[in-house]
Amino acid sequence: DTGNSIAAAAINRKLEINLKLNESIFSNQQNYRQVLQNCASMFSPKSSLYDYLKHEFTHFAEYQYAIKSNTANGVLNEEKAWDEIGRGVYAQKLMEEALSSCGLPYDESIIEKMIGTYATENVSEAVAEAVSSTKHNALCDTIKRLVQKKWK
């Protein structure tokens, strides 16, 4: 269930990844336009559906990176990958590197100011919000670059 969201990235215990779209938004063009025009202020600014989907696909990139990182000799350690996805291990490492690269301390108030309120939910959301944001500042741009370099 996507609730009031446009879309949601999902992964299950078998590490199967899927994208859930909010049918009530996509089945009605007026609803779709209204959602895009009235983006909640807690989210980083987005200019199009593409930006919302970029957010969800950033979660996919994190999941795939965790799966790849926990595969040795063709054997996936599902339990470890699941645990590290749940704890946001790779998002945490990426965020720490981005903040350090920008000469910033790891501080939620800085993350909120530079990315957005929703970015303080957890570090995976912070990375996805930075990548999907139309904001251009040192932190968002560094996170975008690191995701491209490390997770793609």
DSSP string, the chain: --TTSSEEEEE-TT--EEEEE-HHHHT-HHHHHHHHHT--TTSPP--SHHHHHHHHHHHHHHHHHHHHHTEETTEE-HHHHHHHHHHTHHHHHHHHHHHHHTT----HHHHHHHT-GGGGS-HHHHHHHHHH----SHHHHHHHHHHHHHH-
C-alpha 63, offset from chain centre: 10
Share of the chain above pLDDT 70, in %: 95
How far apart CA 55 and CA 7 sit, in angstroms, is 9
Residue 46 pLDDT: 77
How far apart CA 134 and CA 66 sit, in angstroms, is 26
Residue 34 pLDDT: 77
**What confidence tier does 39 reach under pLDDT thresholds 50, 70, 90?**
low
Residue 38 pLDDT: 67
**What confidence tier does 28 reach under pLDDT thresholds 50, 70, 90?**
confident
Task: For residues 85-109, give the mean pLDDT.
Answer: 98
Tokens encoding 131: 């990548």
